[in-house]
Amino acid sequence: MSKRNESLNDLGIVSINLESLRYNYKVIKGTLKIKTKIAAVLKANAYGLGIEKIAKTLQKAGCELYFVATLKEGIELRRFLKKSTILILNGPPKYIRKVYQEFEKYKLIPVINSVDDLNSWISLLKQEKDNSTIALHFDTGMNRLGIPNHNLAEVKKSIKNSNKLNIFCIMSHLASADDEQCITNKIQKKLFDKIIFEFPNTLTSLANSSAIFNLKNYDYSFVRSGGGLFGIDPNKKNRDLKNVISLKAKILQIRDLENEPVKSIGYNSTYSVRSSLRIAVLGIGYADGYPRNLSNNGYGIFKGKKLPIIGNISMDYMTVDISCIKDKEINVGDCVELIGDEITIQKVAKLSETIEYEILNNLGYRLQKEYINSKK
């Protein structure tokens, strides 16, 4: 069973297989220690796939913990998940009472990323009757957001001086979990173990999707998985993961090129027509998030046959060579697969020299979403 969102544009369709999403959740769960939980990371509208459907599917699969990036995302997610635990990775956008009240109203947990942020939150609590639950994010080597390791004593002092704080978890983020040989992983784990020793009986989290499959003994209380749930495993350590998304583009026009006055295709004439050629124009371009650098480099799939992308991909269109297909086997209105089982998101990312996460997040708002195996 499948459902499509309401849209007048069906030139490009992203299909999201919710059964594969449920399956991947179970696969990841099966790789972990018995007591380790999965926290689903659903930033940026669940990587652009639609947070409501994704969150509800994962909740039914057994997921209880969720991370999003911003307060706004957390408030939206709370509309669908009434009882689940939701953490906000960026922490409070401002340290004012109105923001504090929003966190309390929607029962959201801020992730605190610096000593200044911690002290600002504690100052707010002096005006309030109730305690507040927070998460502490320590930087152990990512050198991005996070409380520096050398601020540990100051953090402990601030917490000790406040009687209104509950610590939900201690967490950190791995910089090179996709490379199991990288020494950074061991350095970060050693620092993390030193930090959590100071917070006994507190939940802990270090592993992201890559660490789940690449690194042993990094599970702790819960892991944080985003891309892994959608079938992304950069090192392909777990071949059981299923592809969750596919991208198809509708054919707008089919043409036979023989004696054209200009013997090239698309902007800047980057593809020369040396003989007769049959082409199909597809209704997807770089405005829909398909990588422009796959011009004359990528390909689509139709009934198992490769259709090379020829000429520069433009804002709304791309052209593929369909000379390998007989006349009546392909028609205007048919769809060509650009991401799917035969050309995975990993393959598209490799061809375009980027990462799978960028491809996933860039798939544009104009694309129609179709949810497959949707359960009410």
pLDDT in tens, 250-288: 999 999 988 777 788 999 999 998 888 999 999 999 999
Instruction: Quote the pTM value.
Output: 0.91
Which of 43, 56, 237, 263 is catalytic? The answer is: 43
CA distances from 307 to 192, 251, 267, 269, 345 (A): 49, 12, 19, 19, 17
Quote the tokens at residue 172: 């950190």
Look at residue 167 and give its three-state secondary structure: strand
Which of 3, 94, 267, 375 is catalytic? The answer is: 267
The predicted structure's pLDDT at residue 4: 47
* Single-letter code of the amino acid located at 151: N
- Does residue 289 contact residue 261 with C-beta atoms inside 8 Å? no
- Does residue 219 contact residue 29 with C-beta atoms inside 8 Å? no
- In this prediction, residue 7 has a pLDDT band, given cuts at 50, 70 and 90, of very low
Per residue in 30-41, pLDDT tens? 999 999 999 999
d(CA 213, CA 163): 39
Per residue in 109-137, pLDDT tens? 999 999 999 999 999 998 888 899 999 99
Domains and CATH numbers, the chain: 32-230 (3.20.20.10), 245-372 (2.40.37.10)
Q: What is the 3-state secondary structure (H, E, C) of 267-284?
A: HHHCEECCCCEEEEEECC
The predicted structure's pLDDT at residue 237: 64
Per residue in 173-231, pLDDT tens? 999 998 889 999 999 999 999 999 999 999 999 999 999 989 989 999 999 999 999 99
d(CA 307, CA 300): 5
Tell me whether residue 43 is one of the annotated catalytic residues: yes
The H-assigned helical ranges of the chain are 18-31, 43-47, 51-61, 71-80, 97-105, 115-125, 152-160, 183-196, 209-214, 345-351, 356-362
- Does residue 96 contact residue 125 with C-beta atoms inside 8 Å? no
